[in-house]
A and B are shown apart, each in its own frame.
Chain A
Amino acid sequence: MRVALMVTCINDALYPRTGRAVVTLLRRLGVDVEFPRAQTCCAQPMVNTGYLDEAVPVVRNFVAAFEGYDAVVAPSGSCAGSARHQHGLVARRSGDAGLARAVGELSPKVYELSEFLVDVLGVTDVGAYYPHTVTYHPTCHSLRMLGVGDRPRQLLESVRGLTLVDLPAAEQCCGFGGTFAVKNADTSVAMGTDKVRHVCETGAEVLVAGDNSCLTHLGGLITRQRAGVRTVHLAEILASTEGSLA
């Protein structure tokens, strides 16, 4: 099985450690993951702001980069959701039947990390060790667009040394929402502040989620407020072992 890493543009530029964690984790599980260098972005920022014409060349590039792989793995529910549920829309907009066909073939092969681990590889215990108290925020697109359900929790519960504590109002949005975070900054911050308050209530040392975009927003609030909680991507916890902790 040829597996490609779709690292996502935000991880490429700002969180390379998350991409490296996916590589470490997948190699440990026997998957020789490749990194197609032609990849850039899933086009979600354009689509969700209303710039569909501008999304077309980006989706075209996405298809060119990942065509031919058996599976494409992304450490992001949002970007995987974009590829699975929005690329068809962009392809229709382009009026290019060839692109629509290619998108139709590629989209179902795009997996969010926890889906790939649990559904494709069939593992929940990935051999990780992480001796911390952790609370998990289920990001909206992984939860409602992809329906990852309790897969991330299953993975976290199997990590040795890890104590998972419930997050109150876990399923409520953190307020990131892409360009929503700046177009409606006041509302975004109000939502994020409530989320951070709930995180602090749990007493957890670490806030974990499957999307670094949401964690950028929450982490930005947490450090500004000196709230004393660390934000860590799910992949980094799953990659951790004794002697190499995230």
Chain B
Amino acid sequence: MSGTFVGMPKFPVAAHEALGNAQLRHNLAHATGTIRAKRTHVVDEVTASIDGTSGWEDLRMAGAGVKEAALLDLDTQLVRLEQTLTANGATVHWARDAAEACRIVAAIVKAHGADEVVKVKSMLTQEINLNEALAAEGIAAWETDLAELIVQLGDDLPSHILVPAIHRNRAEIREIFLRAMKEVGRPAPDGLTDEPALLAAAAREHLREKFLRAKVGISGANFAVAETGTLVVVESEGNGRMCLTLPEVLVSVVGIEKVVSRWEDLDPLLRLLPRSSTGERMNPYTSMWSGATPGDGPKEVHVVLLDNGRTRALADSVGRQALRCIRCSACLNVCPVYERTGGHAYGSVYPGPIGAILNPLLKGVGRPGPEGEQVDSLPYASSLCGACFEACPVRIDIPSVLVDLRAQVVDAHRGGVPTAEAVAFKAAAVTLADARKLSFGERFTRVGLGIARRLGVSAWTGARDLPPAPEESFRAWWKRTDGGRQEQQR
């Protein structure tokens, strides 16, 4: 019932709209501010040393290291994962793209005669629009994570990786529950207030009947251990544990970049993730399962290993580090752009700084048409302030990847009819390459005005004054006064 991001406008257009939404701005500033403070607290605590040996920087290095090692050896690790999963009684499927993955999942659900599934919160199934694909096959997919439920019941789109309903406040959530719960199951209780505990209780009652009824559960995975054939889901609410243990059939759709080599590799990652995402030392529920276990949990376990652009990203020598991402969303919470525009402006289930690099890396830049333009606008949706890199638990140098992707966007359009911007930068390159031809002040002003005119001067002057021009440039002053040695009043 919730929509998709198909047809979203370019970032500046979408941001313009979002920035005008005062409620959104208020909700986001409050929510990101709160999470930032929590994260800082639990990260500083590690810096102060948790066990006398490992500070936060060491932990970041370790986390980045295990992810990087697995990515550099991805072909081997994936085959090993398939072998161990199969030996553990799971059925492994390989999917090249979203359509293939959705077909595989729908076929499994239909083979069991089910017309509904319960879902663990999963970014990947949103990336591939699995709910919509299942709906087209007559299968209802129920989101069971509280925030995902809010988004689904509100016929809305997620705007944050960890807290997809971050753009909603509790009064709005109450209204959504009262309006929509009765249409798809147990209604919200009479007299529901916007008290968080009561809202959570209403969701629990609503979801309980779905958990107990569903024959098929769908999940993603935070990590997949090749050595042991184990999938890991990290969560806070326990809804994931329900979905992973109650239904007879479990289908997990897993991006190929989620694989790590050894069981011990989980150590730094499971310490980094909760601190970076919810600002907790440890998340309440960590579920790990290795295939099917007779008499315990699902009888039938499927794992769909999905590419959907990941090998494209892996081939990008600068951008491949984005595949280290563990979807903690720390970069969103510290991003000054995200804090003001919210997630919808990025036109993807992956918003914020990581979305600004991940979407172009997965989809490719320089594609024609409105969708291509939307993707090409994302690397520019950043002031390059670097707060994201500082916060990233697996040390993804997002600013450097953004700059590299900008070059890829520009390069992809070379050879065609040059844009006004390209003309301006070419002219700037010629004049800034040599200080001799003209007096520099004049030339800089000309270059600056040339770029400004082509980008639109009003974009600057709409809300900002331009500084007054000085009487003479520094260069002219230096020449006139011999660097101030013959200083006199003009």
A39-47, A102-110, A120-128, A148-156: which lies at the interface: A39-47
Q: Is the CB of B433 within 8 A of A185?
A: no
Q: Is A210 an interface position by the 8 A CB rule?
A: no
Assembled-state Cα–Cα distance A13/B471 (Å): 10
- With contacts A19-B474, A52-B407, A182-B459 taken as known, whether A140 is within 8 angstroms of B385 at the C-beta atoms is yes
Q: Identify which of residues 175-216 in chain A touch chain B, using a CB-to-CB cut-off of 8 Å.
A: 175-194, 216
Scan residues 18-75 of chain B and give those whose CB is less than 8 A from a CB of chain A.
19, 25
Range of interface residues on chain A? Answer: 35 or more
- Per-residue interface assignment for chain B, residues 412 to 456, with 1 indicating a CB less than 8 Å from any chain A CB and 0 otherwise: 000000000110011011101111100011001100100110011
Closest to A85 in B: B400
Partner of A219, one of B452, B467, B470: B467
Point out the residues of chain A lying under 8 angstroms from B459, CB to CB.
Answer: 181-183, 185
Are A39 and B435 touching (Cβ within 8 A)? yes
A94: which B residues are within 8 A, CB to CB?
none
In the bound complex, CA of A27 to CA of B466 (Å):
31
What residues on B are CB-neighbors of A140 within 8 Å?
383-387
Q: Does A70 contact B (CB under 8 A)?
A: no
What's the nearest-Cβ distance from chain A to residue B246, in Å? 44
Q: Which of A7, A58, A89, A143 contacts B474 (CB 8 A)?
A: A7
Contact of A186 among B19, B383, B456, B466 (CB under 8 A): B19
Q: B474 contacts A20, CB within 8 Å?
A: yes
- B94 on the interface (CB 8 Å rule)? no
Can you list, as one digit per residue, whether each of A43-62 has a CB less than 8 Å from chain B (1) or not (0)? Answer: 10111111111111110110
Is B390 part of the contact surface with A, judged by Cβ < 8 Å?
A: yes
Q: A12-B474, A61-B435, A221-B464 provided; 12 other pairs, C-beta below 8 A? A: A12-B441, A13-B440, A19-B474, A37-B475, A40-B435, A49-B425, A144-B390, A176-B383, A183-B459, A191-B383, A217-B464, A220-B467
Q: List 19 A-B contacts (CB under 8 A).
A: A9-B432, A12-B440, A12-B441, A12-B473, A13-B440, A16-B476, A40-B434, A43-B432, A54-B428, A61-B434, A144-B389, A175-B336, A183-B380, A185-B462, A187-B15, A187-B337, A189-B462, A216-B467, A220-B467
Q: Name A residues whose Cβ lies closer than 8 Å to a Cβ of B.
A: 7, 9, 11-17, 19-20, 23-24, 27, 34-35, 37-41, 43, 45-58, 60-61, 65, 86, 89, 93, 140-141, 143-145, 171-173, 175-194, 216-217, 219-221, 223-224
